[in-house]
Structure 1
């Protein structure tokens, strides 16, 4: 029995392709769930025709515009989380693309990472509902921090276990590790700024996400 158990542990989770396919599915569902918190405002005045105001706007248009401003926090949180998940999806896929094979430990590390991904709709909804409350941003940041730490753990384990391709570029693991650490440190700066003004802290995080997405060739922003 012990020999069979050891054999199972050696062969379990060996397919990187299956792990990548599962990750794609979870990311796709999670990123889709984010938009469900965006609801079309229901304003009774919009359903009735009213005379135009002096500036050409009707009363329904004014009422709808006022209602749309209340959707702003949810839209901001949605865009922020979509960028966040896109960044982590790309980081995970980069690691998996450089893995020649997997094993049981690596699979569970990535599954733990995906568990953190599945919490994003909750932390996003909390942030959207309580945008000006520091605790809501703190919960959101903890979610991002956990994702970063788990992705870093996946990288360190795959490197130490010899699961990475031998023909990888020199300094591949170090470059990814530095990118994760620097990004998490800057997110912490955003949370600290949020103690003064939550919108400023969130704004910094949005800028960091946009920098990660577009990767401008401007020093030092091209380093992460």
Structure 2
């Protein structure tokens, strides 16, 4: 199911959009400001964000920049202003679309569907990768092994997808941090060890298709079983 994040400090707008989007068949999460939105984005996989411009703590422009740097999802900015300077700032921050309040719910839905189609097409054929009986689907963020579906925390999924996209290739912990957590990550390399351990524990009893091996003095490698 398509998961939408709506971010607005106006409780009435949150409730209205939540009802309308759920009625249109979307799964919806809410945040009342940019800080809360980033916390939610770290925990769940979203397909699109609808973001208000004027919010406390972190405005919509700043939040959009953060989303654009860390997540590959479309953003629609909502604003009560219709000045060209505000639109310019919105697009400079990386928004995909811009909607001025008040607006019709149908118009928001039309714009959302257009953006979701565009992003879905841009995912490419490599969004689904298979090794043996294991299939990793980056569109749905699901792992399928035979008839079983496994849902992983976001970073575990991204790490597994990266490994399976690059089988039999060794990566240092620093390389994995850069690819999965980004250049600005302030944690240490033990994060990689923890996530690899969790993946091993999850899949060692589920499949013999692959194994994440430790390469002494280097880092990790995903070995494909024949």
Q: TM-score, normalised on structure 2?
A: 0.27
User: Could you say which structure has the higher strand fraction?
Assistant: 2
**Structure ID, larger Rg:** 1
Higher relative contact order (CA 8 A, sep 6+): 1
User: Could you say which structure has the higher helix fraction?
Assistant: 1
Q: TM-score, normalised on structure 1?
A: 0.27
